[in-house]
Amino acid sequence: MSISTGDSRPSAPKKSTTAAGGASADTTSADEPVGGVLPVKKATRAGAAGRPGASGRAGANGKNRTNAAGATAAKANGAAQDSSEDSMASSEKSTTTTTAVKSTSAAKPTSSAKSATTAKPGAAKPKVQSALVGGGKRGSALGGGKKGGRRPVTPVRVTQSRNWGPILLYVATGLVALAIIGVSVWPLIENWRKGTWQEQVAAIPGLINYIDPSSPSFDQTVTTGPHQSGDLTYPMSPPVGGPHNGYWQNCMGDVYTAEIAEEHAVHSLEHGAVWITYRPDLPQDQIDKLARRVEGREYMLMSPYPNLDAPISLQAWGYQLKVDNADDSRIDDFISALRLNASQEEGASCSGGITEATGGTPLDFGEGMS
């Protein structure tokens, strides 16, 4: 085996003389390099130094060896450089195609890599593993193959803000629905809490009951209600029942500013209305407070009543309440307990009656309506 020093220049041959002083021959020293290559010492045949052309062959051999070593080194350097370039190209190609190639691409080299490695023999073929997530048949650099298993991916929690718009809409709708239900149901609950309308009537202080036989104010005349024409006389003032005109006074929340015939008003009581009367000299603010309880309310009517013995008097069929002030809370209790409940003709209408204030004289239309 010879070692190259990298010097390709051949050394000049030295002349030597034989021991007998004969002709010299071109030989090289066994200890000095020839053509930059240190020759291996071999046993010299006898008379080799005297062969013609021996030094020339030795010089040529040294030169050839030097050229061969230089060519081998150049090839090695070129192959290394090509291998480095191929490796870099393959790495760049593998990186750029990481997400595009299929999992089988890791086992199949590209055509460019094949041609590069085929065209330059001796160059080391770089082994580039696929960087695809999940790997191919042989596994990838990030996750391994079938045996290693894919590296578990940590789930990413995405925090999403709550959409409060629909929630607030549903809540508001529910509250509105509850409010509507409450408004509708509350009067029923309140009436149930107060008890029956008869119990409510009995709880009103100062109320006069003419229809209950057990009451000290009981009056037999209010137990019947025949229709009669002309002027009629009643045992109480204003009247709360008994015979009456065949035509009722319209009682659809009507507020009359002049006197009406009591014969028509009693017929309205028979249908279940509450009739509010007041003295003509009652202050206007008191009249207005009474009117607000009547206006637009079915089975209610209101009118002045001359010679009334109290500022305000309320009538329903068989019942009466007299108060001094329009702010008296018993007025509302009376209306709540007796409107419609005191009717002697359940379901009878309050509309279609007489709408004029006729004074104290009833209109004579005969027996007329019921």
The sheet carrying 300-304 orders its strands as 208-209, 319-323, 312-316, 274-278, 300-304, 252-255
Percent of the chain with pLDDT over 90: 46
The per-residue pLDDT for 182 is: 85
312, pLDDT greater than 80: yes
Give the Cα separation of 109 and 183 in Å (integer). Answer: 82
CA dist 193 to 180, 183, 189, 204, Å?
20, 16, 6, 15
Mean pLDDT of 339-343: 96
Q: What is the mean pLDDT of residues 280-309?
A: 97
Give me the DSSP letters along 48-62: GGGSTTHHHHHHHHH
Cα 296 to Cα 289: distance, rounded to the nearest angstrom: 14
User: Does an H or E element contain 336, and which?
Assistant: helix 330-338
How far is it, in rounded angstroms, from Cα 170 to Cα 176?
A: 10
What is the band of 328 on the pLDDT scale with cuts at 50, 70, 90?
A: very high
Is 5 a residue whose pLDDT tops 60? no
Give me the chain's average pLDDT, please.
74
Question: Of 54-58, 123-127, 162-166, 239-243, where does the model show the most confidence?
Answer: 239-243
CATH 3.40.30 maps onto the chain at 208-338
Are 194 and 200 contacting, i.e. CB atoms less than 8 angstroms apart?
yes
Token pair listed for 139? 């596994």
For 70, residues 6+ apart whose C-beta sits below 8 A from its C-beta are: 4, 8
| pLDDT for the residue numbered 296 | 92
Separation CA 91–CA 164 (nearest Å): 52
- pLDDT for res 78: 54
* Local structure of 72: helix, strand or coil: helix
CB atoms within 10 A of CB 9: 9
What lies within 8 Å, CB to CB, of 367 at 6+ separation is: 227, 228, 229, 246
User: Residue 254 contacts by C-beta under 8 Å, 6 or more apart in sequence?
Assistant: 294, 300, 301, 302, 355
Nearest residue to 231 (alpha-carbon basis) of 239, 223, 220? 239
Give the torsion sign (CA, 176, 177, 180, 183). negative
Tokens 């050394």 found at: 11
Spatial CA neighbour of 368 closest among 345, 352, 357, 347: 352
User: Is the pLDDT reported for residue 61 higher than 50?
Assistant: no
Q: Does residue 256 have a pLDDT over 70?
A: yes
Residue 86: CB atoms within 10 A of its CB come to: 22
| CATH number of the 208-338 domain | 3.40.30
pLDDT per residue as tens digits for the range 359-370: 888 987 665 555
Q: What is the pLDDT of residue 226?
A: 93
pLDDT tens track for 147-198: 567 888 887 776 677 788 889 999 999 999 999 998 888 877 876 777 899 9
Q: What six digits make up the tokens of 116?
A: 């590069």
Enter the pTM of the model: 0.52
302: three-class secondary structure by DSSP: strand
Chain segment 199-243, per-residue pLDDT in tens: 999 999 999 999 999 999 999 999 989 999 999 999 999 999 999
The whole-number pLDDT of residue 48 equals 40
Altogether, the residues listed in the chain come to a count of: 370
